Amino acid sequence: MHLLALHAFAQTHHQIASAASLLLQDASSGFTPEQGRQFGAAMAGMMGIFMLIGLAFMAFFIFLFWRILSKAGFAGPLALLALFPGIGSLIVLCILAFGDWKVIPAPQQAYYPPQYPPQYPPAPPTQL
């Protein structure tokens, strides 16, 4: 008799727990199980698209860092440090900010001021 009462209690407890979880699920989300599966599938699809967009942005920023580092005289593969989330881009920016850029300065252009006043009208061509 003791085992029968324990079995009845366990079965009743299981029924109450499953009914309560169904009530909580329906009351909190307002979705049927089929709608929940469809919502989950839509979220998974959007997550894939967002990941592809994020990878495209990351590849673009690595390309930009690579070009900037190369033009500054540093090794281009230092741009791969940007792959480390958070701290990688900070390290690359610190290298750019505090490193010695090994760039040859452009030669100074000679400045020839225009002749004043300009000669108008132009002189006629002379024949020799």
DSSP for 77-114, please give it: GGGGGGGSTTHHHHHHHHHHHHSPP--PPPPPPPP-PP
Under 8 Å between Cβ of 61 and 84: no
Side-chain-side CA neighbours of residue 121 (13 Å) = 2
Q: Is residue 90 part of a domain?
A: yes
Please tell me whether the overall predicted TM-score, pTM, comes out greater than 0.75 for this model: no
Number of domains within the chain: 1
The parent domain of residue 53 ranges over 48-101
Q: Is residue 58 part of a domain?
A: yes
Q: Is residue 85 part of a domain?
A: yes
Sign, CA torsion 60/66/69/71: negative
Residue with tokens 């440090």: 81
Instruction: Say what percent of the chain tops pLDDT 70.
Output: 62
Q: Is residue 17 part of a domain?
A: no
pLDDT: which is higher, 62 or 25: 62
Residue 7, pLDDT above cutoff 50? no
Q: Is residue 71 part of a domain?
A: yes
pLDDT in tens, 102-112: 877 766 766 66
Under 8 Å between Cβ of 18 and 25: no
pLDDT in tens, 15-48: 555 554 554 454 455 678 888 888 888 888 899 8
pLDDT in tens, 65-87: 999 999 888 898 989 998 888 89
